[in-house]
Amino acid sequence: MTSLVDILPDFASLNVVASSSPAISDADLETERLEAFENGYKAGWDDAAKAHIDETQRINGTLAQNLMDLSFTRAEVHAQTMKALVPVFRQLTDVLLPEMARGALTGHIVQELERYAQQAIDEAIEIRVAPDAAEQTRAAIPETSGLAVSVVADTRLSEGQADLRIADRELQIDLPDALADVRSLIAGFEHEAMKEVADG
């Protein structure tokens, strides 16, 4: 059997050629190791700091985008709410308030009669209303009131209007005019709301 010595060359017999580079002392080798460690540590620290800054910027960017989305969503909801309220207000002023005014006219007349009755018990009271409201007004005045009240249908008056006359005093009730004021207020609100929606 052949041994390894027969196959592989023996390097021990070769003369070692002296190196042209000076030998490094242990102190220099330790200094070089410390510098390499410091450079590696600094590079790692710099990488970690850069990664932290990048992550912070990414989080801030995401937060800013989410806040913008939220702001846009809030403005969108506000705009939709305002658009939804406009028809409600129109229904209120075009349907509900006129219906309420029709019913309120006689109650308002009776209230004013009671106030005037305390001041002028012996004087005749004349109530002028639109022809369509005359019967309802007559029915609303109690017969036992003891007042001399006459209800006159006046074609010059429209629905929701009434004139109360007691001696030399006259009081005009104009519910359509009051409704027009309410409509004007709501139209102003509607205009401002739509302007606010348009401006964002």
Strands annotated E in 13-140: 125-129
Nearest to 150 by CA among 169, 123, 111, 173: 123
Q: Mean pLDDT for each consecutive 10-residue tract of the chain (200 residues)?
A: 72 60 77 88 89 88 79 69 70 68 65 63 78 84 68 88 81 80 78 70
Residue 38 has a CB neighbour count (10 Å cut-off) of 10
Q: Could you give the CA distance from residue 196 to residue 200 in angstroms, rounded to a whole number?
A: 6
In a domain, 38, yes or no: no
Could you tell me how many helices (H) and strands (E) the chain has, helices first? 5, 4
In a domain, 176, yes or no: yes
Burial class (CB in 10 A: 0-12, 13-18, 19+), 157: buried
In a domain, 16, yes or no: no
The residue written with tokens 């005014």 in the block is 101
Please say whether the beta carbons of 168 and 125 come within 8 A.
no
Nearest to 162 by CA among 116, 125, 129, 113: 129
Q: What is the pLDDT of residue 153?
A: 92
In a domain, 185, yes or no: yes
In a domain, 15, yes or no: no
Domains: count for the chain: 1
In a domain, 5, yes or no: no
Range of the domain at 152: 66-199
Q: What is the pLDDT of residue 81?
A: 73
In a domain, 165, yes or no: yes
Q: What is the pLDDT of residue 22?
A: 63
In a domain, 51, yes or no: no
Q: What is the pLDDT of residue 136?
A: 84
